[in-house]
Homo-oligomer: A and B are copies of this chain.
Amino acid sequence: MSTIPASRFDPVSTLADVARLAGVGVGTASRAISGNGYVDVETRLRVLEAAASLGYRRNAAARALRERRSHVVGLMLPDIHNEFYTASAAVLQSELDAAGYQLLVASTGNSIDGERHAWETMLDRQVDGVVHVPVDPDGAPPPGLPVVQLNRHTRTATATAVVSDDVAGVAELTRHLIDAGHTDLVALVGAPRLSTSDERATGFRRAADAAGLVENASAAPRYRVVVTEFSADGGAEAMERVGHDLPTAVVALSSRLVMGVLRWAGACGLRIPDDLSLAGLGDPEWYAIWRPGITTFAPPLAEMGRRAALELIATIGETNARPTTTIRLAGEVRKRGSVRIVPHDGGSNCRT
């Protein structure tokens, strides 16, 4: 019956303790601490003082139970150990933190089962909302739960999505290659059902078509799109396949694929950019360190994280559903040394 906590699980003190010490009712103490409702300035001060002296801390569970909101939002991503997502997650976390939300992280492991499991977790925890990097292109979030999709979006517009404008970005990147004189291109893309892969391929095709390159022609001017597994191995294997009939430049539409190309090129003794030009996607730190630096389209990952957080907070705030939109943020093409400038002479259309 002492005031010493029976175990480490017990709260140091409760609102009732604070109220008692301050000589007020719990209602008043609650208002003083939460700042909701009228409290005499002097009374508030007494309460705050009492709270401080007791080391009082509001019990989140009790609050959540009563308020019917947890002040926790979930983040569902395919893989915590992937700098592409964590680049957004870092900003997202700080933005959410500033708004008084905590971040519950669950990984979906890039599988539909994993995704289902993660949804269960989120629902079980009664999170107030979820930022979701979708795995299943046809999946839909549980109805009624505020959700913002990040990075990828599902086929049906079931939630607001914050994505990079990959179509424009990759098109610009591709144009850069073409402007540099390349007329024989190969693009490497990952799993075709994901919105990101689709859009990246679309951006590439659009720019290549516009420049008059012909898909799958047997000689320049031409372009090819090679679909492969979304990994370094996939990238290397894809280059293996086109190896007998090399383009002058390849666009690897993910950093993993860039790795694969690099590994393959290294193994073959091909030099970049002398023997083959390379452009990538994303911008992990090593792109800039690599000799030559990797020219790339970098999605605005940090900004995307920020927007996703703000969008989710707004959605949670609204009582009724808000219209689902797709927010496309522009990225940046970063030109480095991996793309060779082709001297403007050779080819069939010299006219000296």
Closest to A12 in B: B144
In chain A, residues 1-31, which have Cβ atoms closer than 8 Å to a Cβ of chain B?
5, 7-11
Query: Which residues of A (258-273) have their CB < 8 Å from a CB of B?
Result: 259, 262-263, 266
Q: How far is the CB of A49 from chain B (nearest CB, A)?
A: 19
Instruction: Give the residues from 49 to 96 in chain A that come closer than 8 angstroms, CB to CB, to chain B.
Output: 57-62, 64-65, 68-70, 72, 75, 79-83, 86-87, 89-90, 93-94
Q: In whole angstroms, how far apart are the Cα atoms of A289 and B294 in the complex?
A: 14
In the complex, which residues of chain B have a beta carbon less than 8 angstroms from the beta carbon of A60?
61, 64, 70, 124-126
- Given A126-B61, A289-B263, A289-B266, A10 and B106 touching (CB < 8 A)? no
Nearest CB in chain B: distance from A73 CB, A = 11
On whether the beta carbons of B70 and A81 are closer than 8 Å, the reply is: no
Known: A125-B102, A144-B8, A145-B8. A90 touches B97 (CB 8 A): no
Question: Smallest CB–CB gap between A18 and chain B, Å?
Answer: 15
Say how far A109's CB is from chain B's closest CB, in angstroms: 8
Copies of this protein chain in the complex: 2
- A interface: dominant SS: mixed
Find A104's partner among B59, B90, B103, B262 (CB 8 Å cutoff): B103
**Is residue A38 within 8 Å, beta carbon to beta carbon, of the partner chain?**
no
The 0/1 profile, CB within 8 Å of B marked 1, for residues 180-203 of chain A is 000000000000000000000000
Tell me the complex Cα distance, A109–B94, Å: 10
A93 touches B105 (CB 8 A): yes
Contact B68 A94 (CB under 8 A): no
A124 and B86: CB pair below 8 A? no
Q: Which of A69, A102, A146, A259 has the most CB of B within 10 A?
A: A102
Least CB separation from A302: chain B residue:
B81
Q: How far is the CA of A79 from the CA of B57 in the complex (A)?
A: 26
Give A128 Cβ to nearest chain B Cβ, in Å.
8
Who on chain B is nearest to A301 by CB?
B81
B90 and A86 within 8 A (CB)? no
A212 within 8 Å of B (CB atoms)? no
Q: Is the CB of A80 within 8 A of B61?
A: no
- The yes or no answer to A177 lying at the interface (CB within 8 A) is no
Q: Which of B10, B59, B145, B284 contacts A286 (CB 8 A)?
A: B284
A123 touches B89 (CB 8 A): no
Residues of B within 8 A of A89 (CB): 80-81
Which B residue sits closest to A286, measured CB to CB?
Answer: B286
Asked whether A289 lies within 8 Å of B259 as measured between CB atoms, the reply is: yes
Q: How many angstroms from the CA of A288 to the CA of B57 in the assembled complex?
A: 49
Q: How far is the CB of A333 from chain B (nearest CB, A)?
A: 21
Partner of A87, one of B81, B145, B291: B81
A313 to B72 alpha-carbon distance, docked (Å):
22
Which residues of chain B are near A145, meaning CB under 8 Å?
8
Q: In the complex, what residues of B have CB within 8 A of residue A87's CB? A: 81
**Sample of 20 A–B contacts (CB below 8 Å):** A7-B68, A9-B68, A10-B68, A60-B124, A60-B125, A61-B126, A72-B125, A75-B105, A80-B86, A80-B89, A83-B83, A83-B86, A86-B86, A93-B105, A93-B106, A93-B107, A102-B106, A103-B106, A266-B291, A286-B290
The 6 A-B pairs at the shortest CB distance, nearest first, are namely A61-B64, A8-B144, A81-B90, A61-B65, A9-B68, A80-B90
